[in-house]
Amino acid sequence: MLKIGEFSKLSHLTVKALRFYEKKGLLIPKTVDEWTGYRFYETRQLEDAAKIKAYRQLDLSIDEIKAVMDGGDIKAVFAKKARDLQSQREEIDVRLSIIKTILEDESMKYQVTVKEIPSAIVYYAETTLEKYSDAMEFIPKCGEECRKLNPNLKCTNPPYEFCEYLDGEYKETNIRIRHSEAVEKTGKESELIKFREIPAAKVLSILHKGAYEQIGEAYAFIMKYADDNGYKVAGLARECYIDGIWNKQSVEDWLTEIQLPVE
């Protein structure tokens, strides 16, 4: 039998770690002296200690290790861990790509982030605008009509509101637009207001500050970023108007987020 200190030396696990694994039911001493509290381990338990140490080095959780040690399907546990690590590697690759883009872009005017947008129920309205600036009148009109139709309908928290441009090309007039806002449930519709469910989406996101007339620079940047980093565009770009004419006096303070759905 080995005292805890001796077992610690042979297993290369600290006494603190051994007490922790005992508490979690992973590596329980063979006997504990009821008078002194001394813990004693059997030599054969060194094999279990080695397994636990190896599994921890592979970043398995205590619950995962316990499942394996209790006779669980080790292949299933490692398959799940492999998927988790692959996901982490993809996230790290994204961060490295963003850092690389920032380092290469001396102006650092735009910075790209990757977001996961959950599925949502939205009310939406479509129309044709004479000019882009007319959207600032159309959007409040949509919200007002939806509230009249559904006075008890609540928007989601956090809120999510965006516009999509439906034309297959840039147009200076007769611009087809769809405005959407996430709500808690479907409601009463009208000729203008409709409801639908939008699926979850991965998006590239950048913020454009300033006049809307210069937003083309932001689109050029995000499209180049997507192409350079192997993303495939998977839907219409979404414009989220954070600050604008309704709350900022200076056009220089207008803030628009562009979200580009990608695969």
- Where in the sequence of the chain do the CATH 3.20.80.10 domains occur? 113-262
**How many other CB atoms are there within 10 angstroms of residue 18's CB atom?**
22
DSSP 75-108: HHHHHHHHHHHHHHHHHHHHHHHHHHHHHH-TT-
- Assign 97 a pLDDT band (cuts: 50, 70, 90): low
- Where in the sequence of the chain do the CATH 1.10.1660.10 domains occur? 2-72
Contact 149, 189 (CB under 8 A): yes
What is the structure's pLDDT at 163? 94
CA 161 to chain centre: 18
pTM given for the model: 0.59
Residue 239 pLDDT more than 90?
yes
Comparing 108 with 245, the larger pLDDT belongs to 245
What is the structure's pLDDT at 257? 93
Topology (CATH) of 113-262: Multidrug-efflux Transporter 1 Regulator Bmrr; Chain A (3.20.80)
Q: What percent of the chain has pLDDT over 90?
A: 46
Query: Which CATH number is associated with domain 2-72?
Result: 1.10.1660.10
| Main-chain phi, psi angles of 178, to 5 degrees | -130, 125
Mean pLDDT of 118-133: 92
Comparing 40 with 248, the larger pLDDT belongs to 40
What is the structure's pLDDT at 172? 79
pLDDT digits (tens, 9 = 90+) for 107-118: 546 788 899 999
120-129 and 175-183 as β-strands: parallel, antiparallel, unpaired? Answer: antiparallel
Mean pLDDT of 215-243: 90
- Assign 200 a pLDDT band (cuts: 50, 70, 90): very high
pLDDT digits (tens, 9 = 90+) for 54-64: 888 888 889 88
Residue 258 pLDDT more than 90?
yes
Mean pLDDT of 103-130: 84
Q: Identify how many contiguous H helices and E strands the chain contains and give both numbers.
A: 7, 11
Residue 77 pLDDT more than 90?
no
Nearest alpha-carbon partner for 229 in 117, 113, 118: 113
120-129 and 194-198 as β-strands: parallel, antiparallel, unpaired? Answer: antiparallel
What is the structure's pLDDT at 105? 58
Residue 211 pLDDT more than 80?
no
What is the structure's pLDDT at 217? 83
